[in-house]
Amino acid sequence: MSLSKLVAASSALLLTLSLTACAPEVGSDAWCKQMKEKESGDWTANEAADYAKHCVFK
Average pLDDT score over residue span 36-55 = 96
Give the pLDDT score at 18.
Answer: 67
Longest dimension (CA), the chain: 56
pLDDT tens profile 4-20: 888 888 887 776 666 66
Cα 20 to the center of its chain, rounded Å: 9
Q: How far is CA 38 from its chain centroid? A: 14
What pLDDT is attached to residue 7?
85
Domain segments of the chain as ranges: 24-58
Higher-confidence residue of 14 and 24: namely 24
